[in-house]
């Protein structure tokens, strides 16, 4: 009976696909190297086709646990109705620091703040953790607009500890509905599963290899969804932005992507481990799990760590004691980024880069739950986010790459975290605008008209850059601006290329304005 039901399902699916090949049909079936995938109308934006949970490599399980991802070719039917599994998350303080776990702190947070801190921890889908997690999602609207649309690949953050494409804030349907682009979001392995530190091969930065193979899959398949493989923009925030920065040095000659958007994250924003530091974490974890001995044969240890009786949960239980980050392998991660920059060993595709004005507030808000002492939060904002963004923008501009730089200032009632404390534009605040995924629920104010318009403005800017990364922003919502002899803040004009020392820093949402507002970068870089 079970086989009969399976046969019936496949027959229905194939029949469904046979009637859904019309290019104008929402959710039409699409042939890919992974198989034939059927989509559906997005619940949030029904005019957008949504394809969820498409595998892009072989499942990283069994002998592929703690191994480079392997290409996958499928011929079966893929029901793109649901997101794939979430890559296993590390049980760290950051993941547990959500108000629901600390009811005694609720009086300090607004209803918005409770939602924001839960989103920041990417909490809520832990039950869906599974090592077979390497899938991607596509939002497309082929029935209108360009026949070959610019493509935007989202790389989530999470400090390489956790993250998932299924977090509701990353829903790409509004961006696609409004801006005539295709959006793709990709899962990649994190923590010990993505950055194990083992010594069995030339690299243990498997999560970075996951990202590369996902980008290759998009390049090979996106034309069938109505996308243009020659116009692929990588964009990400926090750890996702750091990943893009690493990627730009790992593939200087063959990035596949035609442009990059980096939001609140560069290589210096998170530590890079040495090979010995990474191996020490691996060795301690594997030994505690009973996979090491005095001889410590790396291959024998790996065989033990891949034993199916060693569960995901048991590995994470020990792994949370250690730090898992990209480690130096001289293939994907390097020890000498300043020298590589000076030598031009980094891709020079166009770059849009920036940070929020008050990055640290979301971290400061967590101290109420962690019990850790307060610190100089403005120093954290500058040293971890603003100054590294300035340095990376300067590198790009000095190498002749088309470069734009922004600082986000949007500050709205529905994004206040602590009662009586002005949150300002904190880490991830800009993500809400990019995806129009603001907090909702009892006691949470609705997005203001200015906030909604600022979101539209930013989505338009990001998409304009993706469509024409060479010069699209120069005239975005205005005329090309001359900045050489201008002593005043420029309003109602396009974004000029970023030139260090010139008034070319775009202040987004400054005083909640919905215009291009330029200032001298030195105003904000004085402490760098």
pLDDT, one tens digit per residue, over 455-469 is 999 999 999 999 999
Mean pLDDT for 256-284 is: 96
How many CB atoms neighbour CB 105 within 10 A? Answer: 18
pLDDT at 228 over 60: yes
Q: Which pLDDT value is given to residue 127?
A: 66
pTM exceeds cut of 0.85: yes
Per-residue pLDDT band for 6 (boundaries 50, 70, 90) equals very low
Quote the number of domains for the chain: 1
Per-residue pLDDT band for 91 (boundaries 50, 70, 90) equals low
Cα–Cα distance for residue pair 273/263, rounded to 1 Å: 22
Higher local confidence (pLDDT), 54 or 19: 54
The answer as to whether 315 is a domain residue is no
Cα–Cα distance for residue pair 80/38, rounded to 1 Å: 5
Mean pLDDT for 18-45 is: 85
- Residues 6 or more apart whose Cβ sits within 8 Å of residue 126: 86, 89
The answer as to whether 49 is a domain residue is yes
pLDDT at 394 over 50: yes
φ/ψ of residue 191, rounded to 5: 50, -140
The answer as to whether 502 is a domain residue is no
Alpha helices in 297-428 (DSSP H): 298-305, 312-319, 337-342, 361-370, 377-380, 387-398
Per-residue pLDDT band for 142 (boundaries 50, 70, 90) equals confident
Work out the percent of the chain whose per-residue pLDDT is above 90: 73
The answer as to whether 391 is a domain residue is yes
pLDDT at 21 over 60: no
CA 482 to the chain's CA centroid: 33
3-state secondary structure (DSSP) of residue 182: strand
pLDDT at 32 over 70: yes
Lowest mean pLDDT among 13-17, 76-80, 115-119: 13-17
Mean pLDDT for 53-59 is: 98
Note the pLDDT tens digit of each residue in 320-354: 999 999 999 999 999 999 999 999 999 999 999 99
Q: Which pLDDT value is given to residue 20?
A: 47
The answer as to whether 236 is a domain residue is yes
Q: Which pLDDT value is given to residue 299?
A: 92
How many CB atoms neighbour CB 41 within 10 A? Answer: 14
Per-residue pLDDT band for 119 (boundaries 50, 70, 90) equals confident
The answer as to whether 499 is a domain residue is no
User: Cβ distance 338 to 295 under 8 Å?
Assistant: no
User: Cβ distance 399 to 430 under 8 Å?
Assistant: no
Q: Which pLDDT value is given to residue 477?
A: 78
- Average pLDDT of the chain, as a whole number: 89
Domain containing 370 equals 26-275+326-473
**Residue 7, both tokens:** 């046969």
The answer as to whether 357 is a domain residue is yes
Lowest mean pLDDT among 44-53, 92-101, 318-327, 359-368: 92-101
Q: Which pLDDT value is given to residue 368?
A: 62
pLDDT at 480 over 70: no
CATH number, domain with residue 124:
3.40.50.1820
Q: Which pLDDT value is given to residue 396?
A: 97
Burial (CB < 10 A; 0-12, 13-18, 19+), residue 116, is buried
The answer as to whether 345 is a domain residue is yes
Categorise residue 85: left if φ over 0, alpha if ψ from -120 to 50, beta otherwise: beta
Q: Which pLDDT value is given to residue 93?
A: 52
Q: Which pLDDT value is given to residue 5?
A: 43
Residues with a known catalytic role: 238
User: Cβ distance 416 to 422 under 8 Å?
Assistant: yes
Cα–Cα distance for residue pair 339/350, rounded to 1 Å: 21
Lowest mean pLDDT among 20-29, 142-151, 220-229, 328-337: 20-29
Cα–Cα distance for residue pair 233/224, rounded to 1 Å: 18
User: Cβ distance 99 to 111 under 8 Å?
Assistant: no
- Which helix (H) or strand (E) segment holds residue 234: the answer is strand 227-237
Per-residue pLDDT band for 103 (boundaries 50, 70, 90) equals low
């Amino acid at each position: 009976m079970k086989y009969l039901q399976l046969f019936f399902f496949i027959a229905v699916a194939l029949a469904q696909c046979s009637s859904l090949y019309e290019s104008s049909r929402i959710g039409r079936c699409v042939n890919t190297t992974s198989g034939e995938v059927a989509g559906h109308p997005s619940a949030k934006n029904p005019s957008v086709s949504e394809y969820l949970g498409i595998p892009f490599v072989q499942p990283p399980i069994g002998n592929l646990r703690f191994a480079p991802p392997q290409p996958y070719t499928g011929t079966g039917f893929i029901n793109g109705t649901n997101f794939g599994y979430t890559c296993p998350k590390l049980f760290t303080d950051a993941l547990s620091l959500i108000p629901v776990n600390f009811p005694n702190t609720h009086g300090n947070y607004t209803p918005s703040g409770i939602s924001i801190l839960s989103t920041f921890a990417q909490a809520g889908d832990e039950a869906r953790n599974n090592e077979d997690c390497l899938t991607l999602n596509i939002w497309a609207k082929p029935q209108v607009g360009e026949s070959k649309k610019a493509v935007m690949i989202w790389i989530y953050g999470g400090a390489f500890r956790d993250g998932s494409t299924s977090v509701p804030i990353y829903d790409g349907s509004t961006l696609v509905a409004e801006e005539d682009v295709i959006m793709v979001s990709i899962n990649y392995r994190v923590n010990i599963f993505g950055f194990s530190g083992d010594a069995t091969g030339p690299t243990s930065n498997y999560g970075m290899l996951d990202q590369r193979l996902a980008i290759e899959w998009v390049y090979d398949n996106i034309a069938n969804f109505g996308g243009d493989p020659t116009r692929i923009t990588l964009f990400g925030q926090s750890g996702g932005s750091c990943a893009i920065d690493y990627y730009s040095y790992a593939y200087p000659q063959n990035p596949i992507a035609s442009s990059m958007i980096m939001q609140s994250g560069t290589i210096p924003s998170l530590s890079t481990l040495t090979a010995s530091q990474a191996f020490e974490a691996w060795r301690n974890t594997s030994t505690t799990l009973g996979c090491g001995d005095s001889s410590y044969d790396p291959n024998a240890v790996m065989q033990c760590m891949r034993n199916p009786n060693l569960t995901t949960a048991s590995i994470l239980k020990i792994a949370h004691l250690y730090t898992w980050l990209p480690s130096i392998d001289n293939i994907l991660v390097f020890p000498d980024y300043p020298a590589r920059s000076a030598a031009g060993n980094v891709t020079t595709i166009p770059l849009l880069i920036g940070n929020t004005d008050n990055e640290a507030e979301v971290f400061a808000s967590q101290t109420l739950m962690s019990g850790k002492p307060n610190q100089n939060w403005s120093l954290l904002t500058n040293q971890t986010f603003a100054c590294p963004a300035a340095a990376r923008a300067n590198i790009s501009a000095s190498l002749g790459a088309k470069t734009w730089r922004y600082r986000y200032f949007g500050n709205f009632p529905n994004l206040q975290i602590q009662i009586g404390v002005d949150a300002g534009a904190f880490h991830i605040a800009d993500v809400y605008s990019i995806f129009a995924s603001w907090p909702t629920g009892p006691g949470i104010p609705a997005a203001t008209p200015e906030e909604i318009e600022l979101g539209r403005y930013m989505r338009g800017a990001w998409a304009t850059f993706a469509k024409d990364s060479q010069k699209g922003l120069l005239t975005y919502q205005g005329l090309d601006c001359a900045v050489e002899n201008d002593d005043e803040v420029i309003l109602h004009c396009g974004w000029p290329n970023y030139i260090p020392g010139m008034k070319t820093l775009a202040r987004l949402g400054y005083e909640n304005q919905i215009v291009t507002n330029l200032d001298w970068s030195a105003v904000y870089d004085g402490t760098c």
